[in-house]
Structure 1
Amino acid sequence: MTTEPSLETVVALLDDEYARSILEATCEEPMTATQLADHCDASLSTIYRRLERLEAADVVHEQTRIREDGNHDTIYAATLAEVHLRLDDDGFTYELTRRDEDVVDRLYRLWGEL
């Protein structure tokens, strides 16, 4: 089971221009790191660093896309759907809502975590 990221981690990710751009781009359709670098106008190393942080927070997940030519692509898809931030007498609290994954993607991701 994945541990929820801290509030500080979530806020830092959403404060990062590249992380937000990756989330927005992969919300519509999964993309490769190269596609994300082009989309975000960033270097591949910048994209991979952000993807690592986003995956650690479980708001992006990695998949393998099998192509007809026998090669495989690693693609990334946003799992984040909503962030709710609340302030009350006890301070700030938040809740992340994630997108539903289809059964095959979920089994593949869970198998990969083993």
Structure 2
Amino acid sequence: MDNGKVFIELLADKYSSAIMALTSQKECSALQLNQELNIPLSTVYRKLKLLENANLIQNVKTITDLSGNVEKYYRCTIHEARVGFHDGKVSISLDTLDYKDKFVRIWKRLSKPEG
């Protein structure tokens, strides 16, 4: 199944679309999504897994506290989506962001010696 079709199916799901909308504005943990969107935590985790497997969201950081509890933060990878209809066929084009690449680029820029 292509990524565009998966995007449309997940966008039609109210919980998935709400998660994509909020994580397109800021990075969020599952607990934040649960609290801000009033979605059951088990549903949040299930939708995060679906969205991450479809490459529509990305884990951007993981924090482990002193007790060993792990909290992952996510961002939506969709920058722009275009839907076309030509000769009876629907086409979907997604422009995506890769936050891991952005972090590497920022780190490289910050680590360059001044001169």
TM-score by length of 1: 0.75
Equivalence for 2:55: 58
The unaligned stretches of length 5 or more in structure 2 are 106-115
Q: Where in structure 1 do 4 or more consecutive aligned residues deviate above 6 Å?
A: none
Shift of 1:13: 0.7
Aligned residues: 101
The unaligned stretches of length 5 or more in structure 1 are 106-114
Shift of 1:6: 4.8
Q: How many Å separate the matches in 1 of 2:4 and 2:20?
A: 18
**TM-aligned CA distance change 1:4 to 1:61, over 3 Å:** farther
State, as a whole percentage, how many aligned pairs show the same letter: 27
Bigger Rg, which one:
2
Q: Does 1:11 align with 2:16?
A: no
Question: Contact 1:4–1:57 (CA<8 Å) still a contact in 2?
Answer: no
State how 1:1-114 maps to structure 2 within 5 Å: 4-7=2-5, 9-66=6-63, 70=66, 72-101=70-99, 102-104=102-104
TM-score by length of 2: 0.75
